Amino acid sequence: MTLDQIIAELQKKTWVDLTHTVTESIPIFSAFEGVLQRKTLFNVEEHGFFAQAVTFATQTGTHIDAPGHFVAGKRYLDRIDNKELLLPLVVIHKQDAVARDPDYRLSVDDILAFEREHGEIPSGCFDQVFLVLILNNQKVFTSRSKFVI
């Protein structure tokens, strides 16, 4: 299969944008308060192009938590090749649980129940499989008091 054929095939698929736009009002972890800064450096009218400098903590907005973010000795994002980011996807839906308890936390029992229904999550999934936890937090994402700890 040629690269053009691969691209054409991928373009036929359904793509879901899970990102949030980083703005001055984006909820951020309370320890990062005031970290988001945006400064216009150049504009089209005066300089012929637009450019900004944006400063914010790495955990702001939609981001990838590399294995090293949680496990000592594992790789950080700068050590993960882009090719490694095209992986099988495991999605665990817990919207109903979060609706009942906004402070809901995924448990081992949840994962075991998921595996009974859908099959075992591969060993070492943080190195080999993307794991997405669907909580419906986007419904409270813009509410600083409900979303941010």
> Looking at this protein, which amino acid is placed at residue 41?
L
Summarised one tens digit per residue, pLDDT across range 13-36 is: 998 887 777 777 777 777 776 667
Pairing of strands 89-93, 130-134: parallel
Residue 28 corresponds to which tokens in the numbers above?
């951020």
User: Which DSSP category does 61 fall into?
Assistant: S
Q: Which two tokens stand for residue 50?
A: 């637009």
Q: How far is CA 49 from CA 21, 43, 46, 131, in A?
A: 21, 5, 8, 39
Cβ neighbours of residue 62 closer than 8 Å, sequence gap 6 or more: 18, 19, 20
Prediction pTM value: 0.52
Q: pLDDT of 81-112, one tens digit each?
A: 888 877 777 888 888 888 888 788 889 999 99
End-to-end CA distance of the chain: 48
Catalytic residue among 20, 47, 69, 118: 69
69 is catalytic: yes
- Residue 140 pLDDT exceeds 60: no
**Domain locations in the chain?**
3-63, 87-148
Strand partners, 132: 91
